[in-house]
Amino acid sequence: MKLKFLLISFGLIFVNMILPNDAFSQKKYYIIFDNFEDQKTVMSVSGGPEAGTTITNLFDLCYWEILRDDVILGKYAERKPFNAATFLAKDITEYDVAVFVMGTSLGLSTTVDGIKVLDKIKQMLAANKSVVIIGHAILPIAFGMGDTESKEWLQSYLGIQEAGVLKLLNGSAIEGFRVDGIEGDPVSAGFRKQCNRIYNENNSGDQAPIRWYPEAFFVSNLSGGKNAVAFDYIKEIWGTDVKPEDKFITGVRSEVGKARCMFYSLNFDIVSGAHLIHFRNSLVRGMRWAVRDLPHPEGFLAVEDETLDFGIIEPKQKGYLVASIQNNGRDKVKISGFKIAGDEPEGSFYITDGNQAVELGPGDIHQLNIVFAPTEERNYEDYLTIESNAINGNIEIILKGTGGEQVFNGPKLSLTEIPIDFGTVPYGLFSEKNIPITNAGNVSLVVEKVKLTDDGEKHFSFAEIVKTPITIPPGKSVNVKVRYTSSDEEYANFTGRLDVESNGLGSNQGRGFVVLKGGSQGKNANSGVSLSSTSIDFGQVEIDKPTMQILKITNIGSTNLKLFKIQWDKSYGGENLDQFAFLDGTDKNLPTLSPGESHELKIQFSPKKAKDYASKIQMLTNNPVNDGIIEVPLSGSGYDPSSVKYGIAYMNGLTVSVNPNPVKDISKIELKLEKSGNIKMDLIDLTGRKITNLMNNYLNSGVTYSDFDAQKYINGMYFILVDFNGEQVQLPFIITK
């Protein structure tokens, strides 16, 4: 099945959107460099209405305006100079696409502040990012002026083996030519461009180009390269058609994985004003082509199939199918509900599993197990609406089925055909995803084998032991958790494959597989984040008596970690947010952390009532995981001191409790382990200072008790900091002797 995107009212959504001030939705993904192209020219050739006009905003007219105003790309594009200051503020590989407009006289060897243009182009492509290169002088400098490095790169990457020149001066007159785009090409789309001549399009009046050129350069031999193909050709010169065997190529593109490169040998100002829009639209189409396999900048829902057809099911029997929904964006998507509606009687189609509000992270998949239960022999059709805050709004799936003599009986294995993308993971870290295995039949499915037949050079592994056989009832799913671990010193991408064998019947004979994808950021290009605690539980705190905890943020990478913004998640509501606060300005004037450096964020909890509270901290960083967004959930309870009997905290595979709490003399610490592991337990004070170590052992699964003697310590608020297999949780308690 092919992944399909529902774009209902998509254009209206973008056109009417008001850009928020929130930095989390304003990250820029596309950059165009504006300090190479000449900004000013005089149209001096007579014969056109613009003759003698001074153009001072050439860059804007030809390149920037069309990109800035595009309803899909514009919100995430920015123009910057190519210089050291730009790259100090943001590494170029943090963008998805970089556009290099080199003007009339510059080549790829151009250097600014000691930084070479070609080096940045190579850096982008090596990082699986895309570039657009536009320049009149790039070919003559590389092939005629001794720029050997640029020539070799153009030959090896873009397949440009030779270049030619088209002389456009005929005595004192300047001749023109026509460029045709390749029909069906994703960049040029077959549009014609009248160049270096005055042209009247559909009686709209004579329109000259912005700039006149005495010569134009083209690719005369295109072969090899990285899947290089031409998208623009010169088809007519001086009124004479070019022979088919002659090669006058002015546009070349290549594609290697997600890395895409487009090259224009003509500046856009050479075209008649009547056809400038064709070059401008080509730029936008090219950039859309470059990012079509990348996640959308915001939360974006896609479905595996727009129509679920259950086929023929006997009346009063049931058929089962699975609807797979993926967040194909970079922001989280909150799905608020699922509704089945239409003209069919209630119960004709209904959801058995997955019918709950859910938050999908980037690349996450949610599955709905849907039942078709006809009551008579006829055709049925309803539709399923998925309600969410995704940028493409609510989406629909058509549900179809026929009541009649049933064709299929038995268990049926169903796996998603959407590749599971673990994203790009920093060196030394890992990402985990749940992969659902579903029984779409009407008899229990027995999964006999689950195996990583391709572990992507040992990058994919099971995060938990998979015990087979697994019995899955009709219309139900079981998740298998897979981990991608980044262990590569250089940027790299890997694919893997998870195979499933079962007693299922049907066309797949009970066998299927899921494709796995993951990327490694590389050791030398990695900024990474380590938190002193992945969640903070203040426990029970006396009403109106503030307590504080410190969240330590450490750069464990090899490049600088930038903290752009720290804020509260406003979705938790006013009453929750009123109980928590940042102290001492530690959420302001955020530092850039060098490798090994830390920042301490001071957080206060001051409950107003005897009830439970929750909130979440959001941080925007340049960390490559989850697009730089880090979230830390907070919880705490207000209490009446006389009513407190104990405290308790939870983390993955471990429950920690202290009883009694507050403690006057002896209290018992209870550790419940679902699995064996290393336990380190420290006593810390309100400032995060370690008082003493309480435990540092390997414990087997089960329950372990440890006595705590409060007589050794002064009265006050303390925390037990527990580290279990690399994850941490804090449990607050009070000593009142």
- Give pLDDT tens digits for 621-645: 877 666 678 889 998 888 665 443 4
Find the helix packing angle between 148-158 and 117-126, rounded to 10°.
30
Last residue of a domain, one of 613, 642, 671: 642
Distance CA 692, CA 9 (A): 61
Per-residue DSSP letters for 34-46? -SSS---EE---T
18 is a domain residue: no
Q: Are residues 500 and 563 in the same domain?
A: no
Residue 8 has a pLDDT of 26
Q: How confident is the model at residue 673 (pLDDT cuts 50, 70, 90)?
A: confident
Q: Are residues 467 and 568 in the same domain?
A: no
Q: How confident is the model at residue 407 (pLDDT cuts 50, 70, 90)?
A: low
**HSE-CB of 532 using CA atoms within 13 angstroms:** 19
Residue that has been written with the tokens 């529902």 in this structure? 6
- Give pLDDT tens digits for 434-468: 899 999 888 889 999 999 999 999 999 998 888 88
Name the pTM for this structure: 0.58
8 is a domain residue: no
Angle at 42 between CA 39 and CA 47, to 5 degrees: 140
Helix (H) or strand (E) holding 414: strand 413-414
13 is a domain residue: no
Residue 16 has a pLDDT of 28
Q: Are residues 157 and 171 in the same domain?
A: yes
Residue 687 has a pLDDT of 65
- Give pLDDT tens digits for 80-129: 999 999 998 888 988 999 999 999 999 999 999 999 999 999 999 988 89
Q: Are residues 485 and 339 in the same domain?
A: yes
Domain hosting residue 616, numbered range: 527-642
**Residue 359 backbone phi and psi in degrees, to 5:** -110, 125
- Give pLDDT tens digits for 680-718: 898 887 666 788 889 988 888 888 888 888 888 888 778
Lowest mean pLDDT among 3-7, 61-65, 503-507: 3-7
Strands of 674-715 (E only): list them.
Answer: 677-684, 690-699, 702-709
Q: Are residues 580 and 685 in the same domain?
A: no
Last residue of a domain, one of 576, 611, 642: 642
Last residue of a domain, one of 238, 267, 291: 291
Question: Hey, is 124 helix, strand or coil?
Answer: helix
Residue that has been written with the tokens 């290393």 in this structure? 678
Instruction: Count structural domains, the chain.
Output: 4
Distance CA 249, CA 319 (A): 56
